[in-house]
Structure 1
Amino acid sequence: MMLWQLTEHETAAVIIGVCFGVAARIMMLRTDYRQYPTHPHGKIIHLALGVIAAGLGAVAVPSLLSKNYTAITFLSLAAQQFRDVRNMERQTLTQVDKMELVPRGTTYIEGIAMVFEGRNYLVIFSAFVSSLFGLLFEWYWGIAAGLLSLFVSKWFQSGKNLGQIAEIRTAEIRLYGPDLYVDSVYIMNIGLESDREVIAKHAMGMLVVPKNANVKVTIANLGQRQAILHNMSTILGVYRDSGEPALLPMAKLDLSSGTLAVFLLPRVNDEALAINVLSRVPVLENAVRLPSEFAGENSKEA
């Protein structure tokens, strides 16, 4: 359905929908410590896709009400386009990851790509809801529904952080000859005396203590561990260069308790900042496991 075929009331509703859809995309788009999306070209790409998604969501309402179901087929084309966006983000980040001193890892990259696809659907939701209320009722109801949809989009924008599911605290770095420990957790063997001197001077240890059985399995995921190391190294810096495996940050499990020990060589050796950064590491959707729910279902069946 073309814009010039709409009545004045329908046009106002579509404009409100597009405005709130674009506002939702702007609200959810930011370049943070990960420096992604890049500025300005990465942002331009995502804002342009946000405008397209907002237009589709806003125009879908009068199309449905006028029984012009052919126009709705464009939504399926949009879904394919947004899946292509996900593939584009995955490929770009995979290539960039090869140049990182501490890479993100495939699980983190897939999570970022999934987020960028999902946010376009939230844009369609905001545009659709505000356009629907603006068309069925007065224009100011469309604005009210649009404002509410922005709160919903903001709530779905991000998931849990590590600090919400685990206790974070610093730990002592211990060197017993060539053996490196964080608290009581064995990390690795350091063969060179020069590397041991660097570690004794610059190293920092952290412990991630799970709050329940589900968290134990989640933080054991290798992708989640790599995300922790990447975020910490991105914000605090990393005291190493390429070709120095002994100085690579690592995260190892205490198999008896499920506690995750994190070994870092930060440029900024600030324990309070490190605790804050580690607490805000996102919990990756692909790393979440819920074994307790399976156990609960089995107990009900019994």
Structure 2
Amino acid sequence: MLMLRTDYRQYPTYPHGRIIHISLGVIAAALGAVAVPALFNKDYTAITFLSLAAQQFRDVRKMERETLTKIDSMELVSRGSTYIEGIAMVFEGRNYLVIMSALLTSLFAIMLNVWVGIVAGLLSLVLVEKLKSGKAMSHIAAVHTAVVKVDGPDLFVDDIYIMNVGLKANQDIIAERGMGFILTPYNSNGKVTISNLGQRQAILYDMATILGVYRDDGEPALIPMAKLDMKDGRLAVFILPQEMDAEKGKKVIMRVPILESAVRMPTEASVNKKEAGENG
């Protein structure tokens, strides 16, 4: 229950999606709890259930991936395959954390006593709380609001070119409602990570989900976009939000999770060690 949270993405859905994952969590907890007494009783065949559980939880990841991919085709601004893979990975991983917590609680309760087991369980929850939260964009890049400019058919966010907008009606909408942001990476790690297309799509999806998006299907000129400045690695984000609040948009970007599949760390190479700094 601690790890299962329905947030602004409305996923897992309530109540049925949450019921499914709570049920899987109960199964995972039961497996972790019975593994220790099975070992103490030298019933080693019972441990084979853990391998079956691992296969089951891999199927959970596959199920989430397929479900979210089908849902994504119906979104005005999609999550993208990298974001979907990250969510699916989390749903698999949290079951292993549940097994770990139940196993530690059971182990200390049997070896010492019930009260020590309860304390061990509570400490494992603290560890789980730390493990479940990753880093956000604010850790790798500075974010500031930028001016959206329409120069004839050309659309710019500050000095970064976004796209060509042909229709005068669309140019007027963009000039009226357009909102722009610039992300400046702290080092080469951040520069490579924000250049990842999946990470960029995650930024656009979170902004569109929280601020809304001023577009409908079949209007490619009004779709949110994120483009790189090829010279220095800055990322320009353009969106037409329903809620015109630049300060809130900045906070949204800063809290966008860094996707595990998008992370690149060139400073870990021996030739780049000195460039990592404190934001590596």
Q: TM-score band (shorter)?
A: over 0.9
* Residue 296 of structure 1: how far off its partner (Å): 4.0
Pairing partner for 1:192 from 167, 170, 177: 167
Say whether residues 1:89 and 2:64 are aligned partners: yes
Correspondences of 1:31-46 after superposition (within 5 Å): 31-46=6-21
Q: Deviations over 1:133-184 (max 9, x none)?
A: 1111111100110010001111111210011111011000011111000011
Q: Structure 2: how far apart are the matches of 1:162 and 1:251?
A: 14
2:203 — aligned with what? 228
Q: Structure 1: how far apart are the matches of 2:273 and 2:238?
A: 38
Number of positions where the alignment pairs a residue of Structure 1 with one of Structure 2: 274
Q: Secondary structure at the match of 1:28?
A: coil
Q: Secondary structure at the match of 1:128?
A: helix
Q: Structure 1: how far apart are the matches of 2:204 and 2:270?
A: 31
TM-score by length of 1: 0.89
Pairing partner for 2:240 from 236, 242, 265: 265
Say whether residues 1:279 and 2:251 are aligned partners: no
Unaligned regions of 5+ residues in structure 2, if any?
275-280
Which region of structure 1 is more displaced relative to structure 2, 267-276 or 116-125? 267-276
Q: Deviations over 1:229-281 (max 9, x none)?
A: 00100000000000000000000001111110000000001111111111110
Q: Structure 2: how far apart are the matches of 1:36 and 1:86?
A: 14
1:49 — aligned with what? 24
Larger radius of gyration: 1
Q: Structure 1: how far apart are the matches of 2:148 and 2:226?
A: 13
2:264 — aligned with what? 289
Q: Structure 1: how far apart are the matches of 2:80 and 2:188?
A: 24
1:107 — aligned with what? 82
Q: Structure 1: how far apart are the matches of 2:59 and 2:202?
A: 24
Q: Structure 1: how far apart are the matches of 2:54 and 2:213?
A: 40
1:12 — aligned with what? none
Q: Structure 2: how far apart are the matches of 1:227 and 1:70?
A: 44
Q: Structure 2: how far apart are the matches of 1:66 and 1:212?
A: 54
Unaligned regions of 5+ residues in structure 1, if any?
1-25
Q: Deviations over 1:28-83 (max 9, x none)?
A: 00111001000000000000000000000000011112221100000000000000
Q: Secondary structure at the match of 2:65?
A: helix
Say whether residues 1:202 and 2:180 are aligned partners: no
2:138 — aligned with what? 163
Instruction: Report sequence identity in percent.
Output: 63
Pick closer, same or farther for the CA change 1:142–1:167 going to 2, 3 Å.
Answer: same
Q: Deviations over 1:63-122 (max 9, x none)?
A: 112221100000000000000000000000000000000000000000000000000000
Q: Structure 1: how far apart are the matches of 2:261 and 2:195?
A: 12
* Residue 298 of structure 1: how far off its partner (Å): 8.9
Pairing partner for 1:68 from 17, 20, 43: 43
TM-score by length of 2: 0.96
AA partner of residue 168 (structure 2): E
